[in-house]
Copies of this chain bind each other. A is one copy, B any other.
């Protein structure tokens, strides 16, 4: 049988069997009724033939379940489009040439982990000389002045420094996402940049393990980068964007 791309279903061991694995905790004591509740709950979520294959007490008031069930829904993959930063990724050398030839000036980039976030490994990977997985960071690019402010920089400080060095772009990293703190932090920064009247003068870029381009745009940033990003991805985007803006 052929896969129908307009009606994709999960695959256990046979096409369209719909099998999925779930695990979760319920805030109730373990017991026959609790396990049945787990089963029925998964049924209510729209799974066919839910089967509780394992249940375990986590001590008073909590119990854990592993359930298999058949997904009833299908998904049409032919209509799915994913927002991505729309750019032709160049090599380091090509970027440096592009800066020299097409921009004709060096560019200033400032970066930081803002507010309470202290996870610098990601921003360091993008900005510092050393880079990441053998991909050199922005600091090593001819024609890019990269200033990495590091961890736990307040939005105010970042905005001030960006203006001070006449940054072309600000690069933000957000790693901690618990209780959507990254949303709050990122929103705050955009508000401050707007209040300072520099929002449109800067290219705003955000990255992190739970960031994607769609989210970035939703929050008012120009671009978003997720896991697996290297300096050349960001740099390619930046030089093109600056080029486009210069022509406008």
Interface residue ranges, A against B (CB under 8 Å):
3, 5, 8-12, 15, 19-28, 32-37, 40-41, 44-47, 51, 61-62, 71-75, 77, 80-82, 84, 210
Contact = CB atoms under 8 A, between A and B. Distances in A.
Contact of A23 (B20, B35, B45, B77): B20
Nearest to A41: B75
A79 to B, nearest CB: 10
Contacts of A25: 10-12
A73 B51 contact: no
Contacts of A8: 26-28, 37, 41
Given A5-B28, A25-B11, A210-B51, A37 B84 contact: no
B40 A80 contact: yes
Given A15-B27, A51-B210, 8 more contacts: A12-B25, A22-B22, A28-B77, A33-B81, A37-B75, A41-B73, A41-B74, A45-B73
B33 A82 contact: yes
Contacts of A44: 73, 75
B82 A32 contact: yes
21 contacts: A8-B26, A8-B27, A8-B41, A9-B26, A10-B25, A10-B41, A11-B24, A11-B25, A24-B71, A28-B77, A32-B82, A32-B84, A33-B80, A36-B80, A37-B77, A40-B75, A44-B73, A45-B47, A45-B72, A45-B73, A46-B46
Contact of A26 (B11, B22, B24, B46): B11
B28 A24 contact: no
Contacts of A81: 33
Contacts of A24: 10-11, 19-21, 71
Nearest to A67: B20
Contacts of A5: 28
A71 B45 contact: yes
Contacts of A23: 20-21
Given A40-B80, A82-B33, A3 B61 contact: yes
A75 B32 CA distance: 15
| Pairs of residues from A and B, 3 with the lowest C-beta to C-beta distance, nearest first | A10-B24, A20-B24, A32-B82
A56 to B, nearest CB: 13
Nearest to A35: B82
A5 B26 CA distance: 11
A27 to B, nearest CB: 4
